[in-house]
């Protein structure tokens, strides 16, 4: 019994020192991933209209762009706690580079906010305006993913 407990204690100590990636059920990680899912949900409808897979509907386009605008105004300060990169925990694609270059990351985020504002101006006007704003918006998603998002697990 004592022996078992000693062994278990040793295993626990080893696991801690080796800092093996643990399965994450981290509320901040869940929240930021949910936020990105909502971005996609709204950008998706705009992209489908832009590509002619769905008829242009000014009201629906405006609603999606409004949603995206407001979603990108969600305060980010609690969504990216240190120690939630993909080398520290499982279940995330956030690269350590985010915390090495917080300013660069914030810059990418503010580019997204600007592009979401431009889309909000354009989406309900007409299809050509929506199409004109989509490239810039998609570019901000892609640029940040390239630099700060790791491969899917
Ligand atoms: C400032 C950087 C940044 C911008 C801008 C950005 N993303 Fe991401 N995105 C990330 C990071 C980092 C992750 C990984 C988050 C994690 O797994 O913890 C991610 C994850 C995602 C995911 C996966 C969510 C999940 O369930 O795991 C989707 C979908 C996504 N982004 C879509 C978008 C779309 C669409 C846009 C543009 C409208 C966008 N992102 C803009 C950094 C960004």
pLDDT of 8 higher than 70: no
- pLDDT digits over 107-143, tens only? 999 999 999 999 999 999 999 999 999 999 999 999 9
Q: How far is the CA of 82 from the centre of ligand 1 (A)?
A: 17
- pLDDT digits over 55-112, tens only? 999 999 999 999 999 999 999 999 999 999 999 999 999 999 999 999 999 999 999 9
Q: Which residues does a 6 A CB cutoff place in the pocket of ligand 1?
A: 29, 32-33, 36-37, 39-40, 43, 92-94, 105, 108-109, 112, 140-141, 144-145, 148-149
Q: How far is the CA of 151 from the centre of ligand 1 (A)?
A: 12
Beta carbons within 8 Å of 109's beta carbon, 6+ residues apart: 76, 144
Supply the pLDDT for residue 59: 98
Supply the pLDDT for residue 7: 54
Q: How far is the CA of 33 from the centre of ligand 1 (A)?
A: 7
Supply the pLDDT for residue 9: 52
Q: Structure tokens of 48?
A: 């489908």
Q: Which residue has the higher pLDDT, 71 or 11?
A: 71
Burial class (CB in 10 A: 0-12, 13-18, 19+), 113: middle
Q: Structure tokens of 82?
A: 């240190």
- pLDDT digits over 15-27, tens only? 454 554 555 589 9
Supply the pLDDT for residue 153: 74
Average predicted confidence (pLDDT) for the chain: 90
Query: What is the CB-side half-sphere exposure of residue 89 using CA atoms within 13 A?
Result: 17
Supply the pLDDT for residue 36: 98
Supply the pLDDT for residue 99: 98
Rounded (10°) CA dihedral 127, 129, 132, 138? -80
Q: Whose CA is nearest to atom 30 of ligand 1?
A: 36
Q: Structure tokens of 30?
A: 């869940």
With the most atoms of ligand 1 within 8 angstroms of its CB, the residue from 94, 145, 146, 147 to mutate is 145
């Amino acid at each position: 019994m004592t022996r078992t407990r000693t062994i278990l204690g040793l295993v626990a100590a080893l696991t801690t020192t080796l800092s093996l990636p643990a399965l994450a059920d981290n509320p901040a990680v869940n929240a930021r991933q949910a936020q990105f899912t909502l971005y996609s949900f709204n950008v998706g409808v705009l992209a489908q209209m832009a590509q002619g897979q769905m008829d242009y509907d000014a009201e629906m386009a405006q609603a999606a762009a409004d949603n995206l605008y407001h979603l990108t105004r969600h305060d980010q300060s609690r969504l990216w706690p240190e120690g939630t990169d993909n080398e520290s925990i499982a279940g995330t694609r956030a690269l350590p580079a985010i915390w090495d270059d917080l300013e660069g990351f914030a810059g990418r985020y503010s580019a997204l906010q600007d592009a979401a504002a431009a889309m909000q101006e354009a989406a309900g006007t007409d299809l050509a305006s929506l199409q004109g704003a989509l490239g810039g918006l998609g570019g901000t998603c892609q640029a940040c993913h390239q630099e700060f998002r790791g491969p899917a697990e």
